Amino acid sequence: MSDDEKQKSNGVKYALAGLGLAGGLSSPLIMAGGAVVIIIFGGLGVLLMPLIILIMIFGGGGSSNDRVDTGEQVVEIARSDGKGELDSEQVPSNLFETLNDAGAKCGTLSPVILAAQIETDSNWDAAKVGPDTRLGISQLPKAIFDKYGEDTDDNDKTRATDPKDSITAQAKHFCALAEQVQALKDNGQTTDNVLDMTLAAYHVGIDAVLEAKGVPADSEALGYVVSVRSRFARYQGVGAPPTSFPAPAAT
């Protein structure tokens, strides 16, 4: 077995813990019953610097070997294309169908990716008011929501604070970004992963990705990609589910 293979097979030591990023950045170590879990990648997909992911705490029950096996599965899923099946128990029941419908809008997207973005951006708070006119569960800027928003739930209102309207706009915006970054790939201007570039464009803007010809090598862009990817496993039913969701916003 090569040194690289040994590193991958031994990358998970105990349980997996809460999220972080390194490679020029500092990351707090999170303790779980005395165990600190750090998973080191030489790169996440084809990101531009080594990353350290601290993903989730798998506490409560099970042997250390079981937790290692689960941790290795989480790492594998984090590095995937996010196309696993969405676990209905991990998302608000009234949004499961909307997530599945919206997640099928283009080949790069999936319901799992949408759910992971939503947790990262708003923690499922449909009333969240963010910076730069960002609003709602998907935290889209007003201009983007105005462009892509539609009355998804047929209540004769189109609002960013309506989770179903927001998720549909999120998916349409994501797919438009994916089409633009795919062109970089098709033109031979980058070797970066299309999903990683699309996630970065969603967070820091398409202009930054086009200028960098890939995922910008900064903590904001890389951190967002890692944050979203680290949640893929949860929404496929691997790891701890969300414990609660905010009350639905008025629509």
Residues 72 and 96 in one domain: no
3-state helix/strand/coil string of the chain? CCHHHHHHHCCCCCCCCCCCCCCCCCCCCCEECCEECCEEECCCCCCCCCEEECCCCCCCCCCHHHHHHHHHHHHHHHCCCCCCCCCHHHCCHHHHHHHHHHCCCCCCCCHHHHHHHHHHHHCCCCCCECCCCCECCCCECHHHHHHHCCCCCCCCCCCCCCHHHHHHHHHHHHHHHHHHHHHHHHCCCCCCCHHHHHHHHHHHCHHHHHHHCCCCCCHHHHHHHHHHHCCHHHHCCCCCCCCCCCCCCCC
Q: Is residue 248 part of a domain?
A: no
CA 116 to each of CA 35, 203, 206, 251: distance values in angstroms, whole numbers, following the listed order: 26, 13, 20, 23
Q: Is residue 114 part of a domain?
A: yes
Residues 71 and 96 in one domain: no
What's the domain range around 45?
3-78
Q: Is residue 52 part of a domain?
A: yes
Q: Is residue 251 part of a domain?
A: no
Q: Which residue in this structure is represented by tokens 């904001």?
A: 220
CA 239 to each of CA 15, 17, 220, 243: distance values in angstroms, whole numbers, following the listed order: 10, 10, 26, 12
CATH number of the domain that 227 lies in?
1.10.530.10
Alpha-carbon distance of 172 to 144, in angstroms, equals 10
Residues 126 and 182 in one domain: yes
94-143 pLDDT per residue, tens? 999 999 999 999 999 999 999 999 999 999 999 999 998 999 999 999 99
Q: Is residue 53 part of a domain?
A: yes
Cβ neighbours of residue 29 under 8 Å, at least 6 residues apart? 36, 38, 54
Residues 17 and 71 in one domain: yes
Q: Which of 78, 100, 115 is the last residue of a domain?
A: 78
Q: Is residue 246 part of a domain?
A: no
Exposure pattern of 195-234 as b/e (b: 16+ CB <10 Å)? bbbbbbbbbbebebbbebebbbebeebbbbbbbbbbbbbb
Q: Which residue in this structure is represented by tokens 């970004």?
A: 177
pLDDT for 158 = 87
Query: Nearest-5° angle of CA 143, CA 149, CA 153?
Result: 155
Alpha-carbon distance of 73 to 62, in angstroms, equals 15
Residues 148 and 36 in one domain: no
Q: What does each of the 251 residues of the chain score in pLDDT, given as a tens digit?
A: 444 433 333 332 222 223 333 222 223 222 233 333 333 333 343 332 333 333 333 344 455 555 556 777 888 888 899 999 999 999 999 999 999 999 999 999 999 999 999 999 999 999 999 998 999 999 999 999 999 988 787 788 889 999 999 999 999 999 999 999 999 999 999 999 999 999 999 999 999 999 999 999 888 999 899 899 989 999 999 876 655 677 665 44
Residues 96 and 65 in one domain: no
Q: Which of 20, 51, 78 is the last residue of a domain?
A: 78
Residues 72 and 132 in one domain: no
Residues 169 and 227 in one domain: yes
Q: Is residue 245 part of a domain?
A: no
Residues 166 and 221 in one domain: yes
Domain count, the chain: 2
Residues 46 and 105 in one domain: no
Q: Which of 50, 78, 106 is the last residue of a domain?
A: 78
Please choose, from the candidates 4, 2, 81, 85, the residue with its C-alpha nearest in 3D space to the C-alpha of residue 44: 81
Q: Is residue 66 part of a domain?
A: yes
Residues 187 and 146 in one domain: yes
Residues 50 and 172 in one domain: no
